[in-house]
Amino acid sequence: MKVLVVNNAAPFVRGGAEELADHLVRELNATKGVEAELMRIPFRWEPAEGPSTKFSSIVTYA
Amino acid sequence: MRIILASSFVPFINGGYRFIVEWLEEKLTEYGHQVERFYLPFVDRAEDLFDQILSFRLIDLSASCDRLITFRPPAHVLPHPNKVVWFIHHIRTMYDLWDSPYRMVEDNPLGRAIRQRLFDLDTTTLMQSRRVFTNSRTVANRLLQFNGVSATPLYPPLSNPDRFRNDRYGDEILVVCRVEAHKRQLLLVEAMRHVKSAVKLRLCGTGMSTEYLAAIRRTIASDLGERVIFENSWISEDRKIELLASALAVAYLPMDEDSYGYPTLEAALSCKGAITTADSGGVLEFVQHGVNGIVAEPDAVSLADAMDRLYCDRALAARMGAMSMKRVEELQINWPRVVESLIA
């Protein structure tokens, strides 16, 4: 069975949540018949410029 | 410097597209930088192509690091004031594979509009970077042709080049890479029916296509059991180094590859020449016919002839091996150059 472990990630910050995800992936991979991989999605708690102020420039990639 | 490396990935699929990122991560860390790596999911698929790309664009890393380095598309759309792109290929089914059976959408007005939209957004976001490097001249030429973007080839080195060694020029032509139709291992097996010498062929690697693997096994079983060895597994680095050290030469003939390919470089560092084919794309930037390898035609007879030549003339195999090693220096394939270019 393939198992994707997903976590969010604040760049350059490591703590309990990161350890938990790493250990889980290691233990899953040590389990017979399981292949596990971690996917980390960058996340910021506080947007620098408030919500969606750049929406139009984002969708035009300008 | 705080550096983020960002690329796209398909979960559970390994290969060169990850090595280039992870090896750079190791080296930048050795050079004293703080490095963070992100693989974001992306699949070549028409239904939600732009949705997937937009999800990359929405990730704001601008305040998180001093420099962003991106690799596989569409990672280059990530916004950052200090972005450097090490471009390894386009979304090929919309670009150079358009005139092929792999084309992602229909060649009609809607399909062509979608393609143009992708060209435009790639061009715009590439232009927003400080510099664009590529893994080969082949890919740099495509960037110029399709996007009008000038890029500099920056050949990716191997992680630990010093670990490779040469013991002798043995009897085996060695092939270590994923076993897939576009890598053409089956053609090499078929070529073994045409060889006149006692040369052997060893294939190592795993693949996703059970049909292709079965076809290789069938062909070997029919009449080549003695002379073709198929190790259908992902072999360790140590074993690879061992096999390369005593190989006669390496064969690597992907169909129109983007880059010279790590197998070619591994051969060179083990002082071995490479057999490739005239339609192998970026591999031809490294392999020069008659100098550090043989550029055969992509057919069984021509490949058999190339293998026989090296088997019957070990001095030639050794000469080509030495020239391969020299080619690594000529093309400046080394980490100091890579690191210096990417953080300048």
How far apart CA B200 and CA B247 sit, in angstroms, is 10
How far apart CA B69 and CA B78 sit, in angstroms, is 10
Q: Do A47 and B2 touch (CB under 8 A)?
A: no
pTM (2 d.p.): 0.88
Using a CB-CB distance cutoff of 8 angstroms, which residues of chain A are in contact with residue B59? 41-42
Q: Do B54 and A39 touch (CB under 8 A)?
A: no
CA-nearest residue to A49 within chain B is B60
Q: What is the pLDDT along chain B (344 residues), one digit of tens a residue?
A: 999 999 999 999 887 889 999 999 999 999 999 999 999 999 989 999 999 999 999 998 998 999 999 999 999 999 999 999 999 999 999 999 999 888 999 999 999 999 999 999 999 999 999 999 999 999 999 999 999 999 999 999 999 999 999 999 999 999 999 999 999 999 999 999 999 999 999 999 998 899 999 999 999 999 898 899 999 988 999 999 999 999 999 999 999 898 899 999 999 999 999 999 999 999 999 999 999 999 999 999 999 999 999 999 999 999 999 999 999 999 999 999 999 999 99
Using a CB-CB distance cutoff of 8 angstroms, which residues of chain B are in contact with residue A9? 38
* 3 state SS of B251: strand
Single-letter code of the amino acid located at B305: D
Q: What is the ipTM of this complex?
A: 0.86
Count Cα neighbours of B148 within 13 Å in the Cβ-side half-sphere: 6
How far apart CA B296 and CA B298 sit, in angstroms, is 6
Task: State the nearest Cα–Cα gap between A18 and chain B, in angstroms.
Answer: 13
At CB < 8 Å, which residues of chain A contact B? 2, 4, 9-12, 35, 37, 39-42, 44, 47-48, 58-59, 61-62
Tokens of B149: 């973007």
Using a CB-CB distance cutoff of 8 angstroms, which residues of chain B are in contact with residue A11? 2, 4, 36, 61, 64-65
How far apart CA B93 and CA B71 sit, in angstroms, is 17
Using a CB-CB distance cutoff of 8 angstroms, which residues of chain B are in contact with residue A40? 38-39
The minimal CB distance from A39 to the residues B41, B62, B64 is found for B41
How far apart CA B186 and CA B279 sit, in angstroms, is 16
